[in-house]
Amino acid sequence: MSKYWSPIVSRLTPYTPGEQPKISNLIKLNTNENPYGPSPLAIAAIQREATSALRLYPNPDSEPLKLAIAAQNAEHGITPAHVFVGNGSDEVLAHAFHALLQHDDPILYPDITYSFYPTYSNLYQVAYKTIPLADDFTIRVDDYLNAGKNGGIIFPNPNAPTGCLLPLSEVERLVASQPDSTVIVDEAYIDFGGESAIALVSRYPNLLVVHTLSKSRSLAGLRVGFAVGHPDLIIALERVKNSFNSYPLDRMAIAGATAAIEDQAHFEYTRLAVIKSRNTLVEGLTKLGFEVLPSAANFVFARHPQHDAAEVAAGLRSDGIIVRHFTSARIAQFLRITVGSDADCQALLDALPKHLQKTAGD
Ligand SMILES: *Cc1c(COP(=O)(O)O)cnc(C)c1O
């Protein structure tokens, strides 16, 4: 606290990202990064941009990237006018809160969800109401339809940190039943097991679908995300962006992201490898007695009926393996474990029995 702070700053509750450890020999299964590298074509494109041309500002509209995203989704009627890009999908989401969710009625999102949503609500003073997930941790569309007037709806699909997928037909039922609300579907993990709602965009002017290159494109370090929606929604986002930062994507990010989107072969290969490793990880955890929620993401959400999640996480940490543990009441006995390389997943499965024994004996 300082007398120099503006009043809103003292009322903020900033988001706490997962640990990025300084020591390098840790097995990092805590922030859902992709164990495989980005497309070699993306790395080459980034390197080609590292010239004296960096003295010039980048393309303010990131046009090559919007063209690539539109081309990839052309079968769904997507054009560059349907695309917004930002410095990570977190920035895209922040602008969406500001541009599309700041109304009189409270917005709706699940009680267990991406913890940046309450942070943005707080930052932009957006009133919100949380809708409890069902006992099996899935989203029930009817609960949103019965929640009364709302200023918008946002949820991740698959949800974070549960990994549970809402079928596309249910997403459509929600979007179709709420024509007066913007519905934002945060598809950070959709490539690992779901069908994207981008397929619905041309039919629903109230739907905004948000993607990131951090997970399935393995470019968390480049900071690129995008949204696809009706051009009127995109104009709202552009108005906020152009009142905030004209150049959110630098030259290297535009070039690297464009090449990554165009490298479909690398994307498919690594996506399928992660899905395969996830199946092995789920099998291994289940054998050790964990209950694992059905995951359509590049992480699993698991609890052990006999062992305290915080203790297991601390035990793993002492072995150099980091997983994510959240303390909010409903999920305090769960661990969120990123699907790493096969070797990393195996190291986790090998380390676990010792820690399960230890807490059992206490
Ligand atoms: C990782 C994640 C994002 C943010 O991704 P960035 O593009 O790296 O900012 C957004 N939403 C959810 C649900 C995520 O898990």
361 domain residue, yes or no: no
Distance 172 CA to ligand 1 centre (A): 22
212 class by beta-carbon count within 10 Å (0-12 exposed, 13-18 middle, 19+ buried): buried
Using omega within 30 degrees of 0 as the cis cutoff, is the peptide bond preceding 161 cis?
yes
Contact yes or no for 177/207 (Cβ under 8 A):
no
Q: What is the pTM of this model?
A: 0.96
pLDDT digits (tens, 9 = 90+) for 276-326: 999 999 999 999 999 999 999 999 999 999 999 999 999 999 999 999 999
User: What is the per-residue pLDDT for 358?
Assistant: 58
* Structural domains in the chain (count): 2
User: What is the per-residue pLDDT for 312?
Assistant: 97
Low-confidence ranges of the chain (pLDDT < 50): 359-362
362 domain residue, yes or no: no
270 domain residue, yes or no: yes
Domain interval for residue 57: 40-263
Residue 198 CA to residue 177 CA, distance in Å, equals: 18
User: What is the per-residue pLDDT for 23?
Assistant: 77
Radius of gyration of the chain (CA): 21
CA 160 to ligand 1: nearest atom: 13
With the most atoms of ligand 1 within 8 angstroms of its CB, the residue from 16, 89, 117, 300 to mutate is: 89
Distance 90 CA to ligand 1 centre (A): 6
In eight-state DSSP terms, residue 38 is P
Contact yes or no for 362/314 (Cβ under 8 A):
no
Same domain, 212 and 304: no
268 class by beta-carbon count within 10 Å (0-12 exposed, 13-18 middle, 19+ buried): exposed
What is the CATH number for 89? 3.40.640.10
Residue (of 179, 227, 185, 187) closest to 205 by Cα position = 179
User: What is the per-residue pLDDT for 17?
Assistant: 83
Boundary of a domain, candidates 219, 240, 263: 263
Residues with CB under 6 A from ligand 1: 88-90, 114, 156, 160, 186, 188, 212, 214, 220, 225
Distance 113 CA to ligand 1 centre (A): 12
What is the CATH number for 18? 3.90.1150.10
Boundary of a domain, candidates 263, 289, 308: 263
